Structure 1
Amino acid sequence: MFIKTKKMPVSVWFVLVLFCMQEVFAIDCTKSIEDIKNCNECVRCGGVWCNKPRVKGDYQCSIAPADNWCPGHMEELPTIPELTESGKLINPAYKEASTKINIHNNVVFQYTATTDSKVKAAVINSTQNNVKLHETIPNCGKDRICTTEIEFTVETDFCSINSGTHEYFEVKIHVDNATEEAIIKYHVPCACECSKKVERTSPNCNGNGDYSCGVCKCHDGWSGDFCEKEECNVARGDIPCKHPLRSEECSGNGRCGVCGCICDTNKEGYQYFDKENYCADLCLITYECETCFDKPAGRCTDCTSIVMRNYNESLMSQTDDFGRNVWVKCEETIDGCHVQYAASKDEHKDILVMRINSCAPVAAGVTQGVNVTLPLVLAGAAVVCVAAGVAYMMLKNRPAPMPSTSAQYQELDGPKTRIEENPTYKSPTTSYNNPMWREKV
């Protein structure tokens, strides 16, 4: 059984790979843009996204949305303020701005050079790939002031699946016989800000999926726009969702659905519930291997999935990326002994167990993660307290001191030293009649 602790806080987590809850395994911009169900993929394909939850049949991604398509809910893509700096010979010598995928861009440069000067543009630094460049033929006047135009387009395959909200590229413009070069830097949105905000097991998804950017990503076994359809390969039909040796349906951690047990997602340690084992929690699973609790630290030979560890209280405060407690507290009565322990599961699916207390001494030289030092210290302290209490009661109940007026302690008048009969002195007996004596005849 679980020991209920304080409820896990709802936390906001940061994802290094954006849209980790809405996984994208491939970007296919050749399909209809209206069929895209993912905000990041929509942006990477050059579309715009509507965050408003859509009614079935509507679309959320569009290349050219109508005015009433998504009022007040359009995803705002990140941009930066435009920056332009002039040089002595080239203008602009530096330019920084934002652009979008599949948008045609052009930058006009003026520079001082000879009429036969050539202009070369090349991408020199980019976090992604595929920027298409084109230089126009310079147009120079008699005053040696030339004008040229650089055209570029960020193509649909510029962004990768793991791109962040901002990616960028830099282009260097070189003019023959010129002592200056120009740099242009453009930032490109490759992911949506709303992808960072994922509401797990959202009510918008009937508790069967994660909600982000106005859409649901359903958990395994569920489908539909709002994860309202339960799916299963083999339906259990009328088979009860109950383990033959457990009293509660779905081990008390879920409910029976069309395809078997549906595990709860609002309990401590729910991430460890085993759907295929009637939503058994870690406490139930470890209790079935109770003989491991008296084993030394290491993998248990009785249940190879159990790994005993030394108890470490600092580990009890560990949380995962979703703010859930990593270690779950359990308690059981085993052979008349009340045992408390903590259980967790690692990336290899091994169950880690730390025994918190023990009602029996641990064998010498065996370390099981059991805290026996504290009980021994408490027992010693109890003995000291009892001894101190007995001493106190003896002192409290001792006979009262004899008053100074007693004849034994009466002061005598006169000098300090004198010879006089001691009134309290009794002389020893010097003679007595022997009752066994008989005079001889």
Structure 2
Amino acid sequence: MILKELLTQIARLFLALVLGNLIGLATFAFYSSVVFAMEIWKLEVPGNFVSLEDISYSPTLAIFMFGGSILAGFIFNMLEGPRSHGPADLMVSIRREELPNLKGGFLTSLLTIVSVSSGSSVGMFGPIIHFGGCIAASLEKFFKLLSRGVILAAGGAAGIAALFSAPIAACIFAHEMLLRRFRSTESAPVVMAALGGYFGAVMVLGDDRRFLSVMGDPPPLDPTSLCFAIIVGILSGLLSSLYIYLIGSGPVWAKSTKVHPILRPLIPASFLYLISPFFPQLIGPGMLSVNMALAGEFTFYLLIVLAFLKVFATAFCRSFGFHGGILLPAVFFGAMLGSAFDVALGNGGHLYAILGAAACTGSAIGAPIAAVVILFEMSGDYRFVILALVSVSLSCQISRTLIGRSTWDRGLFLRGISLEDENSQQAKLKKIIRDQKDKKKS
């Protein structure tokens, strides 16, 4: 009996590893197709505002952006609603122990590939999570030793680990946001799937990928740097709250315009192309610009403008069907905000940019611990963790109080769906009862 149970558990881990490998290879195909397209229309990114004499429009970008937006419109119109799918739908499926809408999920993945390849000002994090979950769901019959919730969470974790070379953060995120619980029986399969996804991507992409390039030494752990980290956290929380609000409310505004779904992506595409010579940093996910901000290559006023423009550009694109993820844009405007703080200090450092990126990311995805870990796995530099935790904690608390736990939770709330766990509900009930007792006493 014990031997049978042991063999069953080993088989579960092996199956999770295989599942992760398959999703890692699929993620490679997803990522490679996007990078290939972006390399064709890649724009030069200046460190200051562009003068009128240097304004020029890229015909290659025009072909990709307008052609891609038309194709995106047709795909978007094929979705029910039409509404794009994402991690929020995966969370609901995990909570309800049901399969996600596979047709909607894979159509959204295709929509993301087309949109990001065409220069939409969005990311790939959320779509990859949902893509991995949908692949896992479609293969469920081959992995019956794993529960449905674990299969879906493992699929999402494998996608994150493969794309961002961040297996540790992938495991934490799967528990912190997807499963929203930590159970010993679920942790091991999720870990193995994340490692499988990571190994699958490493086999074809190599293990030297770093999305972020952090330069210099971290600020000293003294009262001054702690105060600065607190200020960065507060500002990040406020800016992230605006971001979450716009992302959640945007689709409602887009529908109210009565523009046909097929034509909607053309609107943000036209806007992005119009401003592309002035702000090429906003075209695509913008990781090159993030690294330039970390290196201190942008001027103060440009950083401020880029931070706010990215918030509006991403919300605009997603609202009108030019779909993509929300994490990389949060990294972008967080890095711009933190880098502006560095420039304002005038000490020659460019180190609070990483704190701003971590803080805004934590607020956007509602997973503060995973946000810190994923950014430092993406950069390979863990020396900023202590101060980053300060900024992230403040930012997440502010945005959670003002607007909700995450961008995805906000979207579900507007759809009338709540993923609050029983402990949270019980805590609120106890607070209500306690407040009523206090009123009676007074």
Same fold by TM (over 0.5)? no
TM-score range, shorter chain: under 0.3
Higher normalized strand content (fraction of residues): 1
TM-score normalised to structure 2 length? 0.19
TM-score normalised to structure 1 length? 0.19
